[in-house]
Amino acid sequence: MTKQRRFVDYAKDPVTVARRLLGQRLVRIVNGKRLAGTIIEVEAYLGAKDEACHTFDGRRTKRNESMYLEAGHSYVYFTYGMHYCMNVVCGRIDIDKGVAVLIRAIEPTQGIDQMFRNRKAAKNEIQLCSGPAKLAQALEIDCALDGVDMRKSKQLFIELIRPKIAPDSEIEQSARVGVAHAGFWADKQLRYFLRGYEGVSKWK
Q: pLDDT tens for residues 38-65?
A: 999 999 999 999 999 999 999 999 999 9
Nearest CA to 103 out of 139, 68, 69 is that of: 139
Q: Name the band, by pLDDT with cuts 50, 70 and 90, for residue 5.
A: low
Helices (H) and strands (E) counted in the chain, each on its own, are: 4, 8
Provide DSSP, 78-130: EETTTEEEEEEE---TTT--S-EEEEEEEEEEE-HHHHHHH-TT--SHHHHTS
Measuring CA to CA, how many Å separate 178 from each of 34, 70, 119, 175, 203? 30, 27, 22, 9, 8
**107: β partners:** 38
Q: Is the pLDDT of residue 204 over 90?
A: no
Q: pLDDT tens for residues 134-180?
A: 999 999 999 999 999 999 999 999 999 998 899 999 999 999 999 99
Q: Which of 33-42, 112-121, 194-203 has the lowest mean pLDDT?
A: 194-203
Per DSSP, the three-state class of 173 is: strand
Superfamily of domain 3-194: Methylpurine-DNA glycosylase (MPG) (3.10.300.10)
Q: pLDDT tens for residues 132-143?
A: 999 999 999 999
